[in-house]
């Protein structure tokens, strides 16, 4: 930082790095420009988020509104289609559960055998 950057823009006092980390000048109590700008930005972000939350709540079920109808170039979107292959998904889930339990079983058996072998080797 240059020497000019370490002076208060209002009273001209020389400020240390610790004093610059604060929010106001310790001598004239004026808010530093970077802090004032951060406060303005935070207020703007909070306002935007509150507006978006209010807009989203308009269409929330039970809030009295309905979601906007989306219409593209070719008219309304197609209706939601359920998964035409529910059995495939169920079988995949069952296979993954079986492989999980088989893997756990093999791991437990190998651990028991390893401990048994270690104990056997200790008493020989």
The per-residue pLDDT for range 23-32, each reduced to its tens digit, is: 888 899 888 8
Q: How confident is the model at residue 118 (pLDDT cuts 50, 70, 90)?
A: very high
Q: For the beta carbon of residue 14, count every other beta carbon within 10 angstroms.
A: 10
How far is residue 5's CA from residue 14's CA, in Å, rounded to a whole number?
Answer: 9
The per-residue pLDDT for range 40-79, each reduced to its tens digit, is: 888 888 888 887 777 766 655 555 555 555 555 666 656 6
DSSP 24: B
**Structure pTM?**
0.34
Distance between alpha carbon 14 and the CA centroid of its chain, in Å? 41
DSSP 90: H
Helix, strand or coil for residue 75? strand
Decide: residue 25, CB within 10 A, 0-12 exposed, 13-18 middle, 19+ buried: buried
Q: Which residue spans within the chain are E strands per DSSP?
A: none
């Amino acid at each position: 930082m240059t020497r000019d950057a370490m002076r208060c823009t209002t009273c001209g006092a020389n400020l240390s790095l610790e004093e610059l980390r604060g929010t106001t000048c310790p001598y004239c109590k004026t808010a530093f420009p970077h802090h004032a700008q951060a406060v303005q930005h935070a207020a703007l972000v909070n306002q935007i988020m509150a507006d978006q939350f209010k807009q989203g709540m308009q269409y929330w079920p039970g809030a009295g509104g309905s979601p906007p109808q989306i219409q593209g170039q070719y008219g309304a979107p197609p209706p939601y289609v359920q998964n035409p292959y529910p059995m495939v998904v169920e079988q995949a889930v069952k296979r993954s559960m079986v492989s999980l339990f088989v893997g756990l079983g093999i791991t437990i058996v190998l651990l028991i055998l390893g401990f048994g072998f270690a104990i056997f080797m200790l008493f020989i």
